[in-house]
Structure 1
Amino acid sequence: MLELKNISKRFGDQVVLDNLSVTIEDQKTLAIVGPSGAGKTTLLRIIAGLTPADSGSFTYNGQPTTAAELRKQGVIGVVFQGFELFPNLSVLKNITLAPTLQGVSAAAAQKHARNLMDQLDLEAQANAYPYSLSGGQKQRVAIARALALDPKILLYDEPTSALDPNLRQSVADLIASVKQQGMTQVVVTHDMEFAKMVADATLTVAKQGSESNEA
């Protein structure tokens, strides 16, 4: 379980998050929702260790920690809004690059990647390049790439925003499938209907830092 307490963040004179606290339960899916500019993505980036909070604390499994330490330990994985796949690498290489850079053998990284591709229906795209993939396929590759590092918590930044609206259900099914494998997930979305489809709990972030938790 990951707990954030009294997280605050401002950019210049603008307060984005003001003493926000949230608990992310193990093996559950939390949706973070709210209007544009309310700080949803900023909060996700703080959890991921990509943007520093101005104040506040992290506790993971009862032990005080920091976002930077969680990132260093590989606890957190991120699926970015624009997927951010490497255009010059095949699907297989996109998935295996980070593990091999972290010292995993090429054979082990490929075996894990092929298992993930099998689970996400990407076997036929192993040697394809991102330009040739559909939006839904790119989304699955981005998820496989994040899962290749075996994170404990997987974060999604607006997972449906770059996709055709007709693919919303398929993304919801993907998130449900990953959850069934025991993954803890956090989904940032502006789409309330999508949030209802995927979430066990919802954090609604409003502008000026007010927020509410809903089971």
Structure 2
Amino acid sequence: MLELKNITKRFGAQTVLDDLDVTIEDQKTLAIVGPSGAGKTTLLRIIAGLTPADSGTMVYNGAPTTAAALRKQGVIGVVFQGFELFPNLTVLKNITLAPTLQGVSAAAAERHAERLLAQLDLIAQADAYPYSLSGGQKQRVAIARALALDPQVLLYDEPTSALDPNLRQSVAELIDSVKQQGMTQVVVTHDMEFAKMVADATLTVAKQGSESNEA
């Protein structure tokens, strides 16, 4: 279980997150919702160790930690809103790049990537380049790339925003299939209907920095 306690973040004179508590339960999906500008993505970036909080603490499995430490340990994986695939690399290379940079052998990284491609119905796209993929395929490649590092917690920033609305159901099914394999997930979304489809619990963040938790 990952807990964030008394998280505060300011940008200049503006307080975006004010003394926020978040509990992310193992093998569950938490949706973070709220209006634009409320700090949803900021909170996600704090969890991911990409943006520092001004104050607050993190606890992982009962032990105090930091977002930077969790990121270094590979606990956290991130699926970015714009996918951020490398356009000059094939799908397979996009997935194997980070593991090989971390010391995994090319052969082992490819075997793992091929399992992920099969799981996500992307085998036929292994040698394709991102420009040739549909939005839904890019989303699945981005998820495969994050899963290639074997994270314990997978974060999604607005997973449906760059997709045709008709793909919302397929993305929800994909997130559910990842959960069924035991993955803990956090989904930032402005889409309340999508949140209801995927979430075991919901955290609503308001612009004033107030929040509420709903099971």
| Alignment TM class, shorter chain as reference | over 0.9
Question: Residue 131 of structure 1 aligns with which residue?
Answer: 131
Question: Residue 41 of structure 2 aligns with which residue?
Answer: 41
Q: How does 1:168-187 map to 2 (within 5 A)?
A: 168-187=168-187
Within 2, Cα distance between the matches of 1:64 and 1:137?
Answer: 38
Unaligned runs of 5+ in 1: none
Shift of 1:82: 0.2
Deviations 1:32-78 (A, max 9, x none): 00000000000000000000000000000000000000000000000
Deviations 1:144-182 (A, max 9, x none): 000000000000000000000000000000000000000
Q: Which amino acid aligns with 1:38?
A: A
Unaligned runs of 5+ in 2: none
Q: How does 1:12-91 map to 2 (within 5 A)?
A: 12-91=12-91
Q: How does 1:183-202 map to 2 (within 5 A)?
A: 183-202=183-202
Q: Which amino acid aligns with 1:186?
A: V
Shift of 1:129: 0.1
SS at 1:208's partner residue? coil
Question: Residue 101 of structure 1 aligns with which residue?
Answer: 101
Percent identity for Structure 1 against Structure 2: 89
Q: Spell out structure 1 runs of 4+ moving beyond 6 A.
A: none
Within 1, Cα distance between the matches of 2:7 and 2:28?
Answer: 21
Shift of 1:27: 0.1
Shift of 1:137: 0.1
Within 1, Cα distance between the matches of 2:23 and 2:15?
Answer: 22
Within 2, Cα distance between the matches of 1:6 and 1:130?
Answer: 40
Asked if 1:145 is matched to 2:140, the reply is: no
SS at 2:100's partner residue? helix
Count of matched residue positions in the alignment of Structure 1 and Structure 2: 215
Question: Given the two structures, how large is their TM-score scaled by the length of structure 1?
Answer: 1.00
Question: Residue 156 of structure 2 aligns with which residue?
Answer: 156
Within 2, Cα distance between the matches of 1:103 and 1:89?
Answer: 19
Within 1, Cα distance between the matches of 2:88 and 2:14?
Answer: 39
Question: Given the two structures, how large is their TM-score scaled by the length of structure 2?
Answer: 1.00
RMSD: 0.2
SS at 1:35's partner residue? coil
